[in-house]
Amino acid sequence: MMYSALTCLLSCLPLSLTALAQDFQHSYSLGSGGSINIRNVSGNVQVTGYDGQAVVVTGIKEGRNSDKVSIEDQSSGNNVDVRARYPEHCNDCDASVRFEVKVPRGVAYRYNSISSVSGDVDVAGVSGELTAKAVSGEVTVKDVTGSIHASSVSGNVHVGKVAGTVNAKSTSGNVEVEIVSLEGAGNMDFGSVSGNVRVKLPGNLDAEISLSTMSGDLKTDFPLTIEKSKWGSGQKANGRVGSGSRNLKMSSVSGDLSLLQM
């Protein structure tokens, strides 16, 4: 009898753990050019390209008040829209949601909003138009092809090994960008109020460039003349590389700027 009970317990345990491991999971058949929106309030968001055919969104609720949080699915047509919803007067709730999203690798989508108010946002191995942002958290984008907008109010922004165009900003964090291949003709803007900005680009950059820092150092591998401010510790550099087919701007109030070649 004891052996049978133990066998049942062990066989049922994986199913129980699986049920506890996810509070929301849904698969979507989304065509190329479809839109994906994942909006979180408290918790991380991770989007990863994989070799499957469907977009799979998993939400895991955590914390002692997790039952107060709902995961809303407002998807329709060629649009995936999933978000965390908190009740009113839940400022002290111990509850968060962790979103894990898998998307078909190589299919271009419009990621209109991959975001978290209080949590990190991590996107890797996807393609298309991406907007990734956090209020209090880090934003990391890597191995992405397309047009990228990455930002954080209170956190660092890392964009690495991407192909396309990038705009990346932080209010109180560092910004680091590495573009292995420039594609498209979009303008690019990199900035931080109280952090360093470091951008690494291919040597075939073709742009009108404007660099400025109010109280930091400026370094560049491109043929630009660096000028020091007459009234403070700031530096700036302006010039054209190639035919100037796009505008490139870098700025920081109290941080260093580095515009480097691959």
| pLDDT (average), residues 240-253 | 95
Contact between 48 and 141 under an 8 Å Cβ cutoff? The reply is no
pLDDT digits (tens, 9 = 90+) for 117-153: 999 999 999 999 999 999 999 999 999 999 999 999 9
Least confident stretch, 20-24, 70-74, 146-150, 191-195: 20-24
Amino acid found at 184: G
CA distance linking residue 73 with residue 94, whole number of Å: 22
223: pLDDT strictly greater than 80: yes
Please write the tens of the pLDDT for every residue from 61-85: 999 999 999 999 999 999 999 999 9
**Does 163 have pLDDT greater than 50?**
yes
> pTM for the whole thing?
0.90
Q: Please state the domain extents for the chain.
A: 23-104, 138-262
Contact criterion met (CB below 8 Å) for 98 and 60: yes
Give the pairing of strands 121-124 and 79-85.
Answer: unpaired
Q: Quickly count: other Cβ atoms within 10 Å of residue 172's Cβ.
A: 15
Q: How confident is the model at residue 18, as a pLDDT?
A: 39
Question: Does residue 118 contact residue 101 with C-beta atoms inside 8 Å?
Answer: no
Quick check: 104 and 33 in contact, CB under 8 A?
no
pLDDT tops 60 at residue 158 = yes
Question: Is residue 3 over pLDDT 90?
Answer: no
Q: Is residue 7 scored above 50 in pLDDT?
A: no
Q: Which of 17-26, 108-117, 241-250 has the lowest mean pLDDT?
A: 17-26
Average pLDDT over residues 220-228: 93
Measured between alpha carbons, how far is residue 61 from residues 25, 38, 83, 128, 132 in Å? 12, 15, 12, 29, 21
pLDDT band at 164 (very low <50, low <70, confident <90, very high): very high
Question: In Å, how far are 47, 149, 185, 215 from 249, measured between CA atoms?
Answer: 28, 14, 14, 17
Tell me the per-residue pLDDT of 87-114, one tens digit each, with 9 for 90 and over: 988 878 899 999 999 999 989 999 999 9
Task: Give CA–CA dist 150/173, Å, rounded.
Answer: 13
Specify the pLDDT at position 5.
44
Average pLDDT over every residue of 35-63: 97
